[in-house]
Every structure is written in structure tokens, then in C-alpha cells.
Structure 1
Amino acid sequence: MKYLPYCLTALTAILLDQLSKYIILQNFQDHERLNVIPNFFDLTLVYNPGAAFSFLADMGGAQKYIFTVLAFVISGYLARAIVKGEFGRLGNWAAAMIIGGAFGNVIDRFVHGKVVDFLLFYWQNWYYPAFNIADSFICVGAALLIIEGFTQKKTQAA
């Protein structure tokens, strides 16, 4: 029961991610865009066979397995760190968010062979690469882990 909130956080990340992707896949064709906030935010449907910013997208399919193994290894490390008490409370929440996000994208790799992205932010000629809910959980979780790292070092040094 001690770890139930973190398990539920990871599961919530997976469910929100997969539900949002299901809705997009049911309502959009490839590269179709729906403007939500003029000159700033669109919903779209694009696929990413690589990792962040299409990193290693041109590996001919091997990246699917590389990123899946990486997700399992990192998630295993984070889960172990939660159980061993290596993080503070904020770090535990952050790790759970990263685990959930990682598995949201792993599901895509096995179901679609690539990751479904649909959130597109832009301004004039600048575009941030499209991403998804899982990516958001991963990024927020990583930022929270960094914040905890700084605050723990201060506490330990004092």
C-alpha cells in the first residue's frame, strides 16, 4: 500500500496518454491539423519512429527495440529507487511520472511501430516538435527529479 499512489500515478499517465492518442487516431488523418489557438497551438497527427525530436528515427526499425529496452531499464531503476527510498517524496512522484510516460510510448511502439504525437506548439516560423501526453509526463517528471536533486543536496550539505 505504501507504493500504491506512485503506481496509480504511473497508471494514470499511461491511461491519459493512450486515451488521448485513441481519440486523435479516431478523428485525424496523417498530418491533418486542427487549429486550437491561432498562431500558437494545433492538434495534429504525426508519427515519430525515433525518440525525442526524431532522434535515431532512421535506424530501419531497430530503434523500436532499443527504446523499449531503454524504457524498461530506466523504469526498473526508478522503481527500485522508489522502493529503496533513494528519492524523497517529490522524487517518487517524478519517477512514477517518468515510468508512466515511458510505458505510454512503449505501448505505441508495439501497437503502431512508432510513437503517436499530436500536440503542436508554434509561433510564426518557429515550431516545437509535436509531442504527446506521455512525453509531457516524462519531461515534468525529469524536471521534478532535477529540482529534488538540487533541494536534497542543499539539505544534505546543511
Structure 2
Amino acid sequence: MEKWIGGILPRLIFGNRCRQTGLHTLSLLFLAAGATAGDQVTKWIILTRVMDPPRVIEVTSFFNLMLTFNTGVSFGMFQDFFASRPGTLALLSFAIASLLMIWALRSCLPGERRGLALVAGGALGNIIDRWRQGAVTDFLDFHWQGLHWPAFNAADVFIFLGAFLILTSTFLNGTKNKG
């Protein structure tokens, strides 16, 4: 904890590990905004065009469109705790997304920067849902032989892709440094 408070956090907030041009900064902001907008547009289409009235739409033998509202965190965990406190979870999520965006703007690794921007943008899409309706709109439902993966949305896809880019960038950069 001391290393985090004394070293990493100040570097994230105040330090500039790599000098970025205005174009780099703008491209990251557009990437995050694009992820947020893409998520919100898909949710708007689902809520107003596809799921009116709400129902289960079987797309394939393993994929449905199914409207659900998640008051908890990932995979619906802690729903009982956060159901009456959506503002608390939205505020906490916003703080984390803000730190991730600051990290993205300060990172030296292009893949890490893009990944962090995607994670922050996806998180912001879900934060908007929490503020607007007290829960996150989920509608993508994958299943196999009666087993269902928790329903998710486009924001979650952006978060996953961002995390994949961060891990890939970190792995590749670590390999280059050891070579």
C-alpha cells in the first residue's frame, strides 16, 4: 500500500512518463468517447427498437438477445448491496475510470494507452446507465447446454478488449526488455 501511495499514484497523477503530442491525447480521448458512444447507441437501439416489449430473442442455438438490468458489479456480484446505492457505485466507477484515463495519457506503450482508453470508455458507458436508471443495461446472452454466461453489453466488450490490449502490450514489452 505504501508503494502505491508513495510511488505509483503520484506518478499517475503528476508525473509524465512519456511526452505525448496533442494528437496522441486527442486520439485517446476520441477512442474512449467512441467506446462510450458505441455502448450507449447499442443500448438505445436495444431498449427502444428491439426489446419493446422485453422478450428473449433467440439469434442462434448458443446466443440470445435478452434484456436485463444489473444493479451490482461484474457478473451481477453484490447486487443486493449496490441496488439501493447506485450513485455510490457510479461515483466509485467514475473515479477508477478517471485514473485509468490519466494512466492512458501518461503511458509510453501505444497498446497500453489504447487499452486503457477502451477500458475507461467502456466503464463510462456503464456509469451513464447507473446514473440514468440505477442499473446497467445488459442484453447479450451466450449459453451452451443450459449453462449461461452472465449477460453483458457493448461496454463490457470494450472493457475486455482494452484489458486484452493492456496485457498483450505488457507481455510484449516485457519480452523485448528481457531479450
Judged with a 3 Å threshold, the aligned counterparts in structure 2 of structure 1 residues 30 and 45 are, in CA distance, closer, same or farther, namely: farther
Moved more, 28-37 or 127-136: 28-37
Is the 1:13–1:97 Cα contact (8 Å) retained in structure 2?
Answer: yes
Q: List runs of 5+ in structure 1 lacking aligned partners.
A: none
For the residue of structure 1 that corresponds to 2:79, the secondary structure is: coil
Superposition TM-score, scaled by structure 1 size: 0.90
Shift of 1:154: 1.6
Once residues 102 and 35 of structure 2 are traced to their aligned partners in structure 1, the CA distance between those partners, rounded to angstroms, is 19
Matches within 5 A, 1:99-118: 99-118=120-139
Greater share of helix: 2
State the match for 1:131 in structure 2: 152
Judged with a 3 Å threshold, the aligned counterparts in structure 2 of structure 1 residues 81 and 57 are, in CA distance, closer, same or farther, namely: same
Q: Residue 35 of structure 1 is aligned with which of 58, 79, 91?
A: 58
Matches within 5 A, 1:58-97: 58-59=80-81, 60-62=83-85, 64-84=86-106, 86-97=107-118
2:179 is aligned with 1:150: no
Shift of 1:82: 2.4
- Matched residues, number: 155
Shift of 1:124: 1.4
Q: List runs of 5+ in structure 2 lacking aligned partners.
A: 1-22
Is the 1:117–1:131 Cα contact (8 Å) retained in structure 2?
Answer: yes
- Provide Cα deviations, 1:74-108, integer angstroms capped at 9, x if missing partner: 22222222222x24111111011001100000000
Once residues 28 and 128 of structure 2 are traced to their aligned partners in structure 1, the CA distance between those partners, rounded to angstroms, is 19
Once superposed, what is the RMSD of the aligned Cα atoms? 1.6
One-letter code of the match for 1:146? L
Shift of 1:29: 5.1
One-letter code of the match for 2:72? G
Moved more, 23-32 or 110-119: 23-32
Shift of 1:153: 1.5
Matches within 5 A, 1:52-63: 52-59=74-81, 60-62=83-85
For the residue of structure 2 that corresponds to 1:121, the secondary structure is: strand
